[in-house]
């Protein structure tokens, strides 16, 4: 176990954490402000990736693809909010779960209809290929490092947006008291649409950037979505700070667990057994962490109630 390996895995964990934060912050905002649980959030992730891959393939320009992908995800968010979600804000959680589950089916099958069943490929842009040298003789993927940097920028941006701007003030007011915000004379429908679009756009950004590391296919959003649920349950539903801390925790624990669990077990048992048991147990780690945290804090680390 070298220092280089450990540092590399920590960076991988941070990169996964960044992705999870992009997903979880949208989910938690939508829940905090509108009280809506949205299972179809992974569909925006998928939409961002498909649009980015298509635009990049036709124009040859990744950055244009990325921009169009994020905007498309946000635009789909606006449409979905306008047509369906606003009918669900006053409904119970069961109705929200059902309707958004239905949306997943519609989006997934719709994507199959449009793009067919074979995955699309999106390659890393020229400028970010290769690796950079870090101290301790470590070389690390330039693109992954850029993703981490982007995550930091988004986190700062969200912080500024929520703490410094008028929109952010309204979001905070909406989180505290949905009726008060109406009394303030804020156009609540527009606010909801904006918040939903912001969440969808962030999910689209996550999907577009990850699309260059994995294949772009139907269902790609689902594993990330479920990890994002774990993140916001750990962090406390409705809390952006909780989403950030939870995302980094889950990203690091999952990544490091997958590498180091089998390596640790090798000292106790035969290698093949260590690998299989290690990988099976490490796939459960984040859920065990979630259960443990909930046992002590039923509303998550930064949950309000």
Partner 1 sequence: MTSLQNRFNPQALAAGLVPQSREHWINVLLVVGLVGAAMLAHFLGERFYVNLASRIAIIAMAAVGLNLALGFGGMVSFGHAAFFGLGGYVAGISAYHAFNMTPVLGIGFMPEGSTQMLSIWLVTLLVSGLLGLVIGKISLGTSGVYFIMITLAFAQMMYYFANSWPAYGGEDGLPIYLRNELPLVDTNHNLTFFFIAAILLLISLWLSQRLMGSRFGAALTMAHLNPVRLATAGIDPRPVKLMAFVISAMIAGLAGALYADLNRFVGTNMLSWHFSGELIVIVILGGVGRLYGPLAGAILFVLMETWLGGVTQYWQFWLGLVLLGVVLFARGGLMGFLAGRSKDV
**What are the φ and ψ backbone dihedral angles of 186, each rounded to 5 degrees?**
-80, 140
Which 116-145 residues touch partner 1, going by CB under 8 A?
A: none
Of 237, 244, 249, 253, the one binding partner 1 (CB under 8 A) is: 237
* Vertex 110 angle, CA 122 and 55, to 5°: 30
Burial of 178 (0-12, 13-18, 19+ CB in 10 A): middle
Of 68, 70, 80, 104, the one binding partner 1 (CB under 8 A) is: 104
In angstroms, the CA 222 to CA 235 distance is 20
Q: Helices (DSSP H) in 84-164: which residue ranges?
A: 93-115, 142-164
Answer yes or no whether residue 97 interacts with partner 1 by CB under 8 A: yes
Answer yes or no whether residue 214 interacts with partner 1 by CB under 8 A: no
Of 29, 85, 202, 233, the one binding partner 1 (CB under 8 A) is: 233
Answer yes or no whether residue 266 interacts with partner 1 by CB under 8 A: no
* Site map (CB under 8 A) of partner 1, residues 45-84, x = contact: ---------------------------------------x
> Residue 216 forms beta bridges with which residues?
120
| Part of the chain binding partner 1 (CB under 8 A), chosen from 17-25, 133-141, 204-212, 285-293 | 285-293
Q: Which residue has the tokens 């020229």?
A: 126
Q: Are 33 and 180 in contact (CB under 8 A)?
A: no
- Token pair of 214 as six digits: 């994995």
**What are the φ and ψ backbone dihedral angles of 172, each rounded to 5 degrees?**
-65, -40
106 or 213: whose CB is closer to partner 1? 106
Of 7, 138, 146, 226, the one binding partner 1 (CB under 8 A) is: 226
Residue ranges binding partner 1 (CB under 8 A): 31, 37, 39, 84, 87, 90-95, 97-99, 101-106, 108-110, 112-113, 222, 226, 229-230, 232-233, 237, 276, 279-280, 283-284, 287-288, 290-291, 294-295, 298-300
């Amino acid at each position: 176990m070298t220092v280089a390996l450990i540092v590399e895995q920590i960076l991988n964990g941070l990169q996964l954490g960044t992705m999870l934060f992009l997903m979880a912050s949208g989910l938690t905002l939508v829940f905090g402000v509108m009280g809506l649980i949205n299972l179809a959030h992974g569909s925006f992730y998928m939409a961002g990736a498909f649009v980015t891959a298509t635009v990049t393939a036709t124009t040859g320009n990744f950055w244009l693809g990325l921009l169009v992908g994020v905007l498309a995800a946000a635009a789909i968010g606006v449409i979905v909010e306008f047509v369906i979600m606003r009918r669900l804000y006053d409904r119970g959680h069961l109705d929200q779960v059902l309707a958004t589950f239905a949306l997943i089916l519609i989006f997934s099958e719709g994507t199959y209809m449009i793009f067919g069943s074979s995955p699309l490929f999106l390659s890393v842009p020229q400028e970010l290929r290769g690796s950079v040298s870090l101290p301790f003789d470590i070389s690390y993927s330039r693109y992954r490092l850029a993703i981490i940097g982007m995550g930091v920028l988004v986190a700062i941006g969200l912080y500024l947006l929520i703490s410094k701007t008028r929109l952010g003030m309204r979001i905070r007011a909406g989180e505290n008291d949905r009726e008060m915000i109406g009394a303030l004379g804020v156009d609540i429908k527009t606010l909801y649409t904006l918040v939903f679009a912001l969440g969808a756009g962030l999910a689209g950004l996550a999907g577009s950037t990850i699309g260059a590391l994995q294949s772009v296919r139907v269902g790609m959003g689902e594993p990330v979505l479920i990890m994002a649920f774990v993140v916001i349950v750990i962090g406390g539903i409705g809390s952006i700070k909780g989403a950030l801390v939870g995302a980094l925790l889950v990203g690091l624990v999952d990544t490091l667990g997958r590498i180091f669990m089998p390596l640790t077990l090798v000292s106790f048992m035969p290698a093949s057994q260590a690998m299989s048991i290690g990988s099976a147990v490490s796939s459960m780690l984040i859920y065990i962490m979630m259960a443990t945290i909930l046992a002590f804090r039923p509303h998550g680390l930064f949950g309000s109630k």
